[in-house]
Amino acid sequence: MVQTYQSPVRVYKYPFEVVMAAYEKRFPTCKMIPIFLGSEIVSDKKSPDGAVHVVERRCKLNLDAPYLLKKIVGVDHVYFIQTNCVNWRERTLKIEARNESFSSRVHILEGCVYSVHPDNPHWTCFEQTANLEVKSFFGFENSVEKVAVKQYANNIKKGKEILTYYINEVLEKSDGPIPTWSELHPNEDPRTVCTDVNGVCPSTAESVPSTSNQEASLISPSTETISSQTRTRLASSVKENGGAVGGYDDDGAVSKVDEEYIARFLGNLTPLQESKLIELREWLSDTHKEKEKMPHDAHLLRFLRARDFNTEKAHEMITASLSWRKQHKVDKILGTWEPPELLTNYWPGGWHYNDTDGRPVYVMKLGQVDVKGLMKTVGEEMILRHILSINEEGIRRTEEATRKTGRPISDWTSVVDLEGLSMRHLWRPGIKALLRIIEVVEANYPETMGKLLIVRAPRVFPIIWTLISPFIDENTRQKFLIYGGKNYLDHGGLPDHVEDQYIPDFLGGDCFCDIPDGGIIPKVCYRSLDDILNPDEHLLCSETVYKSATLMKGQPSEVLVKISGAQEVLTWDFDVLRGDVIFSVLVVRKPINHPKETTGPLGNTIYIDKSMFCGIDYGVIESALVCKAGESIQGSHVCQFPGNYILQWKYYSPVAVSTSTKGHHHQHKSKIMYFHEVLDSENFRGSMTSLQSCQSGFSSLSISTTTSKSSGQSKSSSFVSR
């Protein structure tokens, strides 16, 4: 496997001629590079006019490898062939270095380019690439690869330091500015000024007699200079607009990555991390369409960090995310998303100043969230869109914080208050929806969480944490800081992360925090999925936790649930939104052929038709329960044998209608919103997440299981209504 490394653009704020004079001082030996033992000139050629100078050297390097590896290969040093081609007219130096020792087993090719900065002719740019292929090396392929990678990283790290040292030495001994080639040859033929290193004028494609074709073939290494088009896109190191360099360009093209830009906007990266970032950018630019803009480097860096700088895994992750963003128009969500008024009033969270490190802070009263109420009034889709808008706003605020602080800030801090959190929050549909949301956020907003400060954590929190923590990325879990009781205001607590003047008032601070209090949403606000979802909008949630159905006389709604093993637990949770219904649980031991399913005029699937008889074709395992409009019903059944189980809802109307109610408008349709799930017995009891309700309006955690035996069979079920 060939590994490729690419350095960012390094800028020396000195003229090209000064940098070249400093570079030559590294030969024949360099006291600042201990492993560089010496060099000898193999060939030295110049073009007739002296503009192009090519020097080939054989360099001797100490083998910086483990002692055992040195003993096995039987050498203490290795040789490299280095070819330097300086074009004084174009003011470029191209360097190619390849290994001579063990070339049949290991192939190393390193290329460097020095050129004039496109925006400042008195500055010099430097780029470096390296290719490594270990074919075979006495069974030590991995060790050799690690040694080569380590050496490459050290070279990049030391390179600027060494060259800067010699630049200062040149400037101290210099009597004045070093003249350029054009100053030394003022009467030169104008055609030769625009020639490339092969002596060809791009405008006329005519040969210019500055260098022979034979010489050109010898002095043109494979590494290319920075193209003129790229030069126009390479901006100066730091721009205060926060994203022009290394992000989007005005023409949509991808710009070069500047070393100072990385330090200013991305942070301290190792040479290999810089290389991985550049590799990912170039990979994406090759697959991006012309009209599509490249993501900012800070965005790419988050995905690299989430995949431990594995470029292939990061590329797979971000391409999936970019496709998702385009499909759901997430890039426009901040300008188009308007949360429903009910969500705005009952969502107890909002942005609140910055932490001590300059990160934006998001405050959330999680203990006051009515998860069930939100899901049954605005729906899972709206909740997810709101959370995505929060994440998009967070990214925008980190970019703003980067510009204000003058240092890279790529994530934010969350303060989560769990006051009020109790067992009633362990409502399985809510937990399931939460896990879906976590999955979406983890896939598309990695490494955006700097810190998560959990305060006033109650005793029930460890149970909830056990449920959700496996779905949270390991890197993210390490950023959680949990404080129980009132110790969050002590030393080592919240004041260590948020300045005293910004601690919210509801947490004991003096700063007013203008976010809603949350609380219970009245059931009168509950709506069906048909009323919640916009049919013209592409849904983020391909499958919502809840389904809805409309019933009328003679047109029930049935859900087929296949139970594969004994003792599995069938659970359900539904709300009667309009009219009254009769709910039953049936079992059909015979296989149900899907082609024989029937669909009513309301689109409801019906499995139990009029040709089937109770007690013969199917059995009733949960007796019919009349459920009134506005009731929430939750229950479970322990299945004693495998088979096809059916959840059935029927429209219900009293048989007799009194004369006093003849004038009352009667509903001819009923509407329900339902959820069901199958759990194994251990998960049902052990996870403490069965479906029960409570009088507060939230779901509660309450396992109510009764067991009865009849005809040698046992039945376990529970119904709770409010």
Q: Tell me if 56 sits within 8 A of 82, measured CB to CB.
A: yes
- Beta 360-365 vs 412-417: how paired, if at all? parallel
Three-state SS at 478: coil
Report pLDDT for 301.
Answer: 94
pLDDT of residue 536: 55
The CATH number that domain 546-654+665-721 falls under is 2.60.120.680
**At CA 532, angle to CA 422 and CA 645, rounded to 5?**
70
Torsion angle of C-alpha atoms 640, 645, 649, 654, degrees rounded to 10: -50
For residue 75, the tally of other CB atoms under 10 A from its CB is: 13
The residue behind tokens 């704020």 is 13
The string of DSSP codes covering 661-722 is GTTS----EEEEEEEEEEE-HHHHHHTT---EE-TTSSEE-----EEEEETTEEEEEEEEE-
Tokens of 363: 């405050």
Tens-place pLDDT, residues 142-175: 766 666 666 666 666 677 788 889 999 999 988 8
Please choose, from the candidates 177, 133, 165, 135, the residue with its C-alpha nearest in 3D space to the C-alpha of residue 16: 177
Q: Where are the domains of the chain?
A: 2-234, 236-328, 332-507, 546-654+665-721
Residues of the chain below pLDDT 50: 190-254, 595-596, 656-666, 687-722
Looking up tokens 């002596």, which residue turns up?
Answer: 199
DSSP assignment, residue 400? Answer: H
Q: For the domain with range 236-328, which CATH number is right: 1.10.10.60, 3.40.640.10, 1.10.8.20, 3.40.605.10? A: 1.10.8.20
> Largest Cα–Cα distance of the chain, in whole Å?
117
**CA gap 257, 540 in Å, rounded:** 34
**What is the per-residue pLDDT for 223?**
36
What's the CATH number of domain 2-234, 3.20.20.80, 3.30.930.10, 1.10.287.3510, 3.30.530.20?
Answer: 3.30.530.20
CATH top-level class for 332-507?
A: alpha beta
Q: Give me the pLDDT at residue 138, please.
A: 61
User: In 472-579, at which residue ranges do the beta strands (DSSP E only) sit?
Assistant: 480-484, 547-552, 557-563, 569-578
Structure tokens at 458: 């109650």
Q: What is the pLDDT of residue 689?
A: 43
> Can you give the pLDDT at residue 154?
66
Distance CA 114, CA 166 (A): 16
Whole-number pLDDT of residue 380? 87
Quick: pLDDT tens for 307-322.
999 999 999 999 999 9
Fold agreement between 236-328 and 546-654+665-721: no
Residue found by looking up tokens 């330097």 in the block? 84
**What is the DSSP secondary-structure string of 457-524?**
E-TTHHHHHHHHGGGS-HHHHTTEEEEETTGGGSTTSGGGTS-GGGSBGGGT-SB--------PPPGG
- pLDDT at 600 (0 to 100): 58
What sign does the dihedral 558-563-567-573 (CA atoms) show?
negative
